[in-house]
Amino acid sequence: MPKKYFTSKIIKITAIAAVCALLVFLNPRGIFGPVRGFFLTLAYPLQKISYLAGKKTSGAFSFLESISNLKDENKNLIRENDRLTAEAAGLQGQKRENEILREQLRLAPRDKFNLESALVIGQYPGGLGGWIIIDKGSAQGIAPGMAVIVSDGILVGKVEEAYWESSKINLLTDSSASISALDLETGAKGIVRGEYGLGLSMDMVAQTDTLNEGDTVVASGLGSGIPGGLYIGKIQKISVTEDKLFQKAQVVPKVRYSKLEIVFVVKNSQ
């Protein structure tokens, strides 16, 4: 019984205190103004501390949020910068390709041959000049055996395999390459072969024929389907084979096969 009485009394006191507090803070007609002022004065330090703490917390959250926003903006700026850099590089590369192509087209012997221009999109590992891959194929009328040249009718190889929209070109410097050739100045005939991507040699030249250092070597047009007269290189060094039956000469090409970017496939003569 005393316990119930005590609990009921507490509830009544709490209710009365709540009503009094409400009347003080609502202050109808200003009756409780002095009392209200007294309680506000007592509560001021706690209110100030609570306000400042809340303000600091709010500021901390705002600061953290601003850092997060800055990180997101920085990521976006980095992505945009990378995109613009890649786009600029692509445009620069395209501009360079167009300039090279225009120069090559200007020098290409289109009055003599039906040419198909192509970009080099792959090459022999290490760039030693064994073979290259171009971005044109049978869809553009390219077939195995066709000659491949660069500007001014310089022979660099021939089509080995033609796919639908790409082709593999066997370069003259490949060890398996061979082509009938002649010394343009003396008419001496021989076979130009590749030396494992390191250069060219002209052998099987009869001892009775004349070779001179500095002479021009061109395709003879015999037996290979390669048009005659295409430039191959210059004779640099002449020697005699071990059996003393033939002459042999080193041939220096005019272009670096590992640096090819644009070539022309000779479909046929005009």
Residues of 141-154 as b/e, b for ≥16 C-beta within 10 angstroms?
A: ebeeebbbbbbebb
pLDDT score at 244? 80
Q: CA–CA separation, 80 vs 127, rounded Å?
A: 35
The letter for the amino acid at 173 is: T
Rounded CA-CA distance 175/77 in Å is 52
Domains of the chain (ranges; CATH) run 2-59 (no CATH), 113-269 (2.40.10.340)
Q: Between helices 33-107 and 2-26, what is the axis angle to 10°?
A: 70
Tell me the pLDDT of the chain (270 aa) as tens digits. 455 555 666 666 666 655 555 555 555 555 545 555 555 555 545 555 555 555 555 555 565 566 666 666 666 767 666 666 655 555 555 555 555 555 554 544 556 788 898 999 988 765 556 889 999 999 999 999 999 998 778 999 999 999 999 999 999 988 888 999 999 899 999 999 988 767 899 999 999 999 999 999 999 888 777 888 899 999 998 998 888 889 999 999 988 887 888 899 998 755
pLDDT at 89: 54
pLDDT for 165:
92
- By DSSP bridging, strand 189-194 and strand 231-240 are unpaired
User: DSSP readout, 197-221?
Assistant: TS-EEEEEEETTS---TT-EEEE--
Q: Nearest CA to 172 among 269, 116, 249, 253?
A: 253
Q: What is the pLDDT of residue 159?
A: 94
Integer angstrom CA distances of residue 88 from 84, 121, 162, 186:
6, 21, 33, 52
Residue 155 CA to residue 192 CA, distance in Å, equals 12
Which residues are CB-contacts of 201 (< 8 A; sequence separation ≥ 6)? 192, 193, 195, 248, 249, 250, 251
pLDDT of residue 115: 87
Q: Determine the 3-state secondary structure of 86 from DSSP.
A: helix
First to last CA, the chain: 125
